[in-house]
Amino acid sequence: DAGVTQSPTHLIKTRGQHVTLRCSPISGHKSVSWYQQVLGQGPQFIFQYYEKEERGRGNFPDRFSARQFPNYSSELNVNALLLGDSALYLCASSPGTSYGYTFGSGTRLTVV
């Protein structure tokens, strides 16, 4: 079985631009979460979706948004990019909220 897949793997954007990151969860997993990991720090929670509904939102500005599709894949959108948005963006899926998460390899976003 394929694990959690994220695309693209790397991305370079200019300040002020918009970016869309994509995630396909493990087949059968209905919960998808997004995390931001800055170098040297632990992952920071951005969003969680379960059955296409937003179940949790972290302390990120409104420039960050996400959605989950009927096939449980998900997109993370970031508008008006700032230099500080440069990070590894991780997607994780699980069968439900009481289970361990399987992480994708992440998207490395660099804002210049």
Task: Catalog residues that contact other proteins under the rule CB under 8 A.
Answer: 33, 41-45, 48, 50, 55-56, 58-59, 88, 90, 92, 97-106
Phi, psi of 106 (to 5 degrees): 90, 165
* In the complex, minimum distance from the CB of residue 47 to other proteins, in angstroms, rounded to a whole number: 9
Residues with Cβ within 8 Å of 109's Cβ and at least 6 positions away in sequence, in order, are 11, 13, 19, 21, 78, 85, 86, 87, 88, 89
* In the complex, minimum distance from the CB of residue 39 to other proteins, in angstroms, rounded to a whole number: 11
Q: Which is nearer to other proteins, 18 or 99 (CB)?
A: 99
Q: Which is nearer to other proteins, 2 or 14 (CB)?
A: 2
* In the complex, minimum distance from the CB of residue 16 to other proteins, in angstroms, rounded to a whole number: 28
* In the complex, minimum distance from the CB of residue 13 to other proteins, in angstroms, rounded to a whole number: 21
Q: Which is nearer to other proteins, 11 or 88 (CB)?
A: 88
Pairing of strands 19-24, 5-7: antiparallel
CB 67 within 8 A of CB 75: yes
